[in-house]
Amino acid sequence: MNLLHYTSSAAFLLAGSITLSSPLVYAKQTVENESYNEFLDMDISQLMQVTITSVSKKPEALANAAAAVFVIRHEDIQRSGVTTIQDALRLAPGVQVARIGSDKWAVSTRGFNGRYANKLLVLMDGRTLYSPAFSGVYWEMQGTLLEDIDRIEVIRGPGATLWGANAVNGVINIITKKAEDTHGGLVRVGGGTEEEAQLGLRYGRAIGENVHARAYFTYDQRDSFELARDGSDAHDDWDSSRGGFRVDGGSEKKTAWTVQGDLYENSINQSFSPYFLPSFPYITELREEFEATGWNIMAKMNRKFANDSTLSAQIYYDFAKREESFLMQEQGTFDAEIQYQKKLGNRNDITTGVGYRLVDAEFTNSFQASILPAETEDITYSGFIQDAISVIADTLIFTLGTKWENNDYTGTEFQPSARILWKATKDTSVWAAVSRAVKVPSQFESNGSVVVRVAPDMPPNPAVITLVGNTEYDSEEVISYETGYRCFPNDTFSLDLALFYNDYDKLLDSAPNPLNPYESVFSNSINGNSYGAEVAITWKPLDWTKFDLAYSYINFDMDSSLLLPSGQENVYEGSAPQHSISLFSQLSLTAKLEMNVWLRYVDNLPVSSPSAATRGIEIDDYVDVDISINYQATNNLKLSLVGQNLLNSSNSEFISESFTAETEVERGVYLKALWSF
């Protein structure tokens, strides 16, 4: 880790200094003046032709994707008034987003939600964001300047054939704008009741012929929420600061390259309740402030050849550190990938690639939680190939592919898929897919241990009840069957429907250890299925208004093969709302004034987590609304008033599977000014 750490640190600082100190070669300056009315001027057919890259790892129109994909656009993020990426994801059908506290979220697609949800692959410009410790995302450690996000591509269903293990139920790729599109300066300031302080700075310019750069900085301070038991302070207030840069060069018609990086620091207050001790009083509530820091640097290259082929390469290093008492974690990830795309005649479009990943981790264990050995090194080799076969030109396309991976936990894994797309008319398409995906064991599932209870009166006094990892723990599997229908019959309406049936095997459970009555061991003891439907409708009845409706339905049927089931199968069935609805209305009232109303309904959660099951707590269904009013005061100044969760003074959305008391999300209001120059 040391060599990679210091080498990458030097590269990060060098690239950043080049960005900020290079002389101005181009006199061209572009003043950023985002007009959301121009966005509403686009008809539905134009919106459906937006280019996406996450489904096939190559550019294609949204309307032609043989997958359940939804795009959250830059304009949607800005108009909605959200202050985090995770809250923006509530716009997409099939995505479950629940706030556990001020500093914690549960995010998943098609179920299995939780603080440590691990069946969703999340990327930022192609760089994975998950923690190798548990194969999920610490959402409070992720982010960027929201004004720099071009779009978020949300794929529901397996994406493992191209993206690899852990892309079991979906892939989310957060794609930022090119540096060329962010010339000039931008200042964002704001504050309110829950979002106490917001600051965003960005400056971009040309620094050479066909070379563009930008640098940004953000700071956010958020208030704590309240405990459900008595309305007292939840002690989960936090602040975060982040900076970064991006440099783009070359030509998209020949060779284009990108170097980008980020540096961040979070100061987080949190409470562990209950928190167990090896001696009297054995159980307590731990309140602490800890630091979560990290940085990353990435380089990409894309080369187009005259023979209708493309070669691309990507390499990055990501370092993250969490200094919390529960379990201190320090992880470095080195990842490299090469991809080649070639069209063979008029029928075949082949994409293939190879990859290498090294994860180097160190842990400082506590009585409460541990991972042994305390220093680990995991290596994954991978390769994939996919062929899009044009059976009938521009009408019927059959796509077949597979991903091969070799990891240190389960060895070789194959993850194939087959997809078919039929373009019945120029504005109507039908697709179907069958895929296999796996979730490989994480460091914690294989070698971890967590204390779940200390019983002072049980022999040997006290008795320490633990849940421990299993070096024989196998990959979790899913075979997914999907079909969809997509149409935009006119310039004012579009419909996107997806149906799915997932067959799961060897899901995570815990079984009693016959050699130790005080231990439970991770096991692959649960199987079952889920099925559901997702609908996205866009309606633009007038030039000055647009409505986006997203509806999701999901149902689970899970069984445990254990003689004495742990109850985890009930958690899988009850951790995602059966019904959820989002209605996002965008209204341009005048040339300078716009109002956006976002209404949401989320069904109840019978058992959101093992912690909730133990306490017998059910999360009630709820209806809430956000309203944002934006006023273009001048060509360069936009003022916003945003109200969040306005229908409820406070309500619970989720109870974590970790040691966190039930916390209620509070109503919030904030003001924001956005100045561009």
- Note if the bond before 132 is cis, omega within 30 degrees: no
Q: Which domains does the chain have, with CATH numbers?
A: 2-676 (2.40.170.20)
Residue of 85, 104, 81, 103 whose CA lies nearest to 95: 85
Q: What distance in Å separates the CA atoms of residue 324 and residue 659, rounded to the nearest whole number?
A: 13
Mean pLDDT score, 613-630: 92
Residue carrying the six token digits 């106490």: 196
Helices (H) and strands (E) in the chain, counts: 9, 37
Note whether 402 and 385 are within 8 A (CB). yes
What size, in residues, is the chain?
A: 677
Q: What distance in Å separates the CA atoms of residue 240 and residue 544, rounded to the nearest whole number?
A: 37
Residue of 73, 68, 72, 74 whose CA lies nearest to 55: 68
Condensed to tens digits (0 to 9), the pLDDT of residues 481-538 reads 999 999 999 989 999 999 999 999 999 999 999 999 999 999 999 999 999 999 999 9
Mean pLDDT score, 242-251: 97
pLDDT at 392: 95
Q: Which residues contact 429 (CB under 8 A, 6 or more apart)?
A: 63, 64, 421, 422, 423, 485, 486, 487
Lowest pLDDT segment from 4-8, 209-213, 559-563: 4-8
Lowest pLDDT segment from 129-133, 591-595, 617-621: 129-133
pLDDT at 33: 43
Note whether 615 and 60 are within 8 A (CB). no
Residue of 580, 651, 531 whose CA lies nearest to 90: 580
Element (H, E) at 40: helix 36-41
Average pLDDT, the chain: 91
pLDDT at 26 > cutoff 70: no
Q: Which residues contact 158 (CB under 8 A, 6 or more apart)?
A: 167, 168, 169, 170, 415, 417, 435, 436, 437, 478, 480
pLDDT at 37: 55
> Looking at beta carbons, which pairs linking 491-495 to residues 24 or more positions away fall under 8 Å?
491/43, 491/44, 491/45, 491/540, 492/43, 492/44, 492/539, 492/540, 492/541, 493/44, 493/537, 493/538, 493/539, 493/540, 494/44, 494/47, 494/48, 494/536, 494/537, 494/538, 495/535, 495/536, 495/537
Pairing state between β 170-176 and 120-124:
parallel
pLDDT at 39: 57
Sign of CA dihedral 655, 661, 662, 664: negative
Lowest pLDDT segment from 30-34, 199-203, 244-248: 30-34
pLDDT at 12: 39
Q: What distance in Å separates the CA atoms of residue 119 and residue 534, rounded to the nearest whole number?
A: 18
pLDDT at 166: 85
Q: What distance in Å separates the CA atoms of residue 342 and residue 359, rounded to the nearest whole number?
A: 31
Residue carrying the six token digits 């009297």: 280
Note whether 124 and 142 are within 8 A (CB). yes
pLDDT at 40: 62
Q: What distance in Å separates the CA atoms of residue 544 and residue 145, rounded to the nearest whole number?
A: 28
Lowest pLDDT segment from 146-160, 184-198, 603-617: 603-617
- Indicate the pTM of the whole model: 0.92
For residue 174, give the amino acid letter: I
Q: What distance in Å separates the CA atoms of residue 410 and residue 408, rounded to the nearest whole number?
A: 6
pLDDT at 41: 63
pLDDT at 6 > cutoff 50: no
Q: What distance in Å separates the CA atoms of residue 25 and residue 20, rounded to the nearest whole number?
A: 13
Which pair of structure tokens corresponds to residue 27? 């006199």
Q: What distance in Å separates the CA atoms of residue 629 and residue 282, rounded to the nearest whole number?
A: 51
Q: What percent of the chain has pLDDT over 70?
A: 94
pLDDT at 45 > cutoff 80: no
Query: Would you place residue 42 in the very low, low, confident or very high pLDDT band (cuts 50, 70, 90)?
Result: low
Q: What distance in Å separates the CA atoms of residue 405 and residue 402, rounded to the nearest whole number?
A: 10
For residue 178, give the amino acid letter: K
Q: What percent of the chain has pLDDT over 90?
A: 83
Mean pLDDT score, 187-199: 97
Mean pLDDT score, 321-335: 96
pLDDT at 54: 86
pLDDT at 46: 74
Q: Which residues contact 415 (CB under 8 A, 6 or more apart)?
A: 158, 160, 161, 164, 165, 402, 403, 405, 435, 436, 437, 438
Taking 3-state DSSP, the helix, strand and coil percentages for the chain, each rounded to the nearest 5, stand at 10, 60, 30
If you write DSSP's letter for every residue of 403-450 in order, what string do you get? Answer: EEEEETTTEEEEEEEEEEEEEEETTEEEEEEEEEEEEPPPHHHHHEEE
Which pair of structure tokens corresponds to residue 428? 């109507």
Note whether 90 and 606 are within 8 A (CB). no
Residue carrying the six token digits 């018609």: 253
Element (H, E) at 87: helix 85-88
Condensed to tens digits (0 to 9), the pLDDT of residues 556-581 reads 999 999 998 999 999 999 999 999 99
pLDDT at 7 > cutoff 60: no
Q: What's the start-to-end Cα distance of the chain, in Å?
A: 42
pLDDT at 17: 37
Mean pLDDT score, 107-124: 95
Query: Would you place residue 38 in the very low, low, confident or very high pLDDT band (cuts 50, 70, 90)?
Result: low
Residue carrying the six token digits 């950023």: 32
Condensed to tens digits (0 to 9), the pLDDT of residues 72-99 reads 999 999 999 999 999 999 999 999 999 9
pLDDT at 610: 85
Lowest pLDDT segment from 35-39, 68-72, 218-222, 364-368: 35-39
